[in-house]
Amino acid sequence: MYGSSKQSRSAKVGKSADKKNRKSKPKTETVELGGEKVKFQKGGLKKSLDVADDYTFKKPELERLKSHDVGKKFQFKGKRFTMDEKLKKQITLALTLMGSKK
């Protein structure tokens, strides 16, 4: 064997490749609602509903989505989803933030 290192060349290259392939942390936003600070991931609702990053939600659209009960299936933009607690909270937060932009 050449050299004294027991670590192969491919293992050394793998470490630096891992650093490049790491995903960055999602950006978090903090807003104050009713005197309480709320943290959330920016773009979380868009990711949950599988829409493009440049998509803009409309208030009536979100109100229609909010009317679905937890555990029920619904369709949005041709894709089927199941309403869960997290999605319901994301929609509620989005509607609250839309209403506060006066």
pLDDT of 3 reads: 59
3-class state of residue 25 by DSSP: coil
Please give the pLDDT value at position 87.
Answer: 96
Claim: this prediction has a pTM higher than 0.85: no
Token pair 């790491």 is found at 22
Closest to 49 (Cα-Cα) out of 25, 84, 23: 84
Q: Is residue 22 part of a domain?
A: yes
Q: Is 35 within a domain?
A: yes
* Model pLDDT, residue 84: 95
pLDDT tens for the chain, 102 residues: list them. Answer: 555 555 555 555 555 556 666 667 778 888 888 888 988 888 999 999 999 999 999 999 999 999 999 999 999 999 999 999 999 999 999 999 898 655
Per-residue pLDDT at 49: 95
Domain enclosing residue 42, as ranges: 9-99
> Is 1 among the domain residues?
no
Residue 31 lies in a domain: yes
Nearest partner of 68 among 51, 88, 96, 50, judged by Cα: 88
Domain count, the chain: 1
Q: 84 in a domain, yes or no?
A: yes
